[in-house]
Amino acid sequence: MTLETSVNESIIGDFLNFNRNIAEIPSRISVPHEVKMDTCEYDVVYEEDRIRMLHYKPLTSKQIKTPLVISYAIVNRYHIFDIDPKKSWIRNLLESGIDVYMIDWGTPTKLDKFLGFDEYVNDYLDNCIEDVCDRSSVDKVSLQGYCTGGTLATVYSALHPEKVKNLVATAPVIDGWKDTTVISNIAKNFDVDTMVDVVGNMPPEFIYYCFSILKPFEQGIEKYLKFFQNLENEKYVNSFLKIEKWLAETPPIPGELFKQWIKGIYQENLLVQDKMFIGNQHVSLKNITMPVFTQVAVGDHLVSPECSMPLHYAVGSDDKNLEIYPTGHVGMIASSYSQKNVLPTLTKWIKTRSD
Partner 1 sequence: MISMMSSKPASLTAVGPLRNFTENIKKISQELIESNQEIVDFNTYLMEYYKQLGETWADSQKKVMSKISEIPQDTESTEAYKRVWIDMFENDFTQLFDTESFSKNYNKLVSTEMQLLKRWNTIMDIMLKSANMPTKEEIDEIYQELFSLKKQIKKLDSSKKRRDVKNDS
Q: Which residues are marked as active site?
A: 147, 300, 329
Q: Which is nearer to partner 1, 263 or 353 (CB)?
A: 263
- Enumerate the β-bridge partners of residue 169: 145, 294
Residue 123 is a binding residue for partner 1 (CB under 8 A): yes
Judged by CB, which is closer to partner 1: 115, or 207? 115
Site string for partner 1, 28-67 (x = CB under 8 A): ---------------------x------------------
* DSSP, residue by residue, 189-202: T--HHHHHHHHSSB
Instruction: Report the residue from 44, 213, 248, 324 that binds partner 1 according to the rule CB under 8 A.
Output: 213
Residue 205 or 234: which CB sits closer to partner 1? Answer: 205
SS3 277: strand
Cβ closest to partner 1, residue 150 vs residue 331: 331
14 binds partner 1 per the rule CB under 8 A: yes
Whole-number Å distance between alpha carbons of 60 and 86 = 17
Among 77, 113, 160, 312, binds partner 1 (CB under 8 A): 113
Residue 279 is classified by DSSP as T
From 18-26, 37-45, 110-118, 336-344, give the range in contact with partner 1 by CB under 8 A: 110-118
What x/- string results for residues 170 through 199 when contact with partner 1 is judged by CB under 8 A? ----------x-x--xx-xxxx--xx-xxx
Residue 177, CA distances (Å) to 20, 181, 260, 297, 323 in order: 49, 10, 15, 18, 21
| DSSP-assigned beta bridge partners for residue 102 | 54, 70
216 binds partner 1 (CB under 8 A): yes
Cβ-based neighbours of 45, under 8 Å, separated by 6 or more: 53, 54, 55, 101, 131, 135
CA atoms within 13 A on the CB side of 191: 5
Residue 111 binds partner 1, judged by CB under 8 A: yes
Residue of 36, 110, 286, 348 interacting with partner 1 (CB under 8 A): 110
Q: Do 210 and 216 form a contact (C-beta atoms < 8 A)?
A: no
d(CA 21, CA 99): 44
Selected binder of partner 1 within 221, 248, 298, 324 (CB under 8 A): 221
Nearest CA among 99, 73, 43 for reference residue 333: 73
Which of 2, 5, 8, 280 binds partner 1 (CB under 8 A)? It is 8
Q: Which residues sit at the interface with partner 1, rule CB under 8 A? A: 8, 10-11, 14, 49, 110-111, 113-115, 119, 123, 180, 182, 185-186, 188-191, 194-195, 197-199, 213, 215-218, 221-222, 225
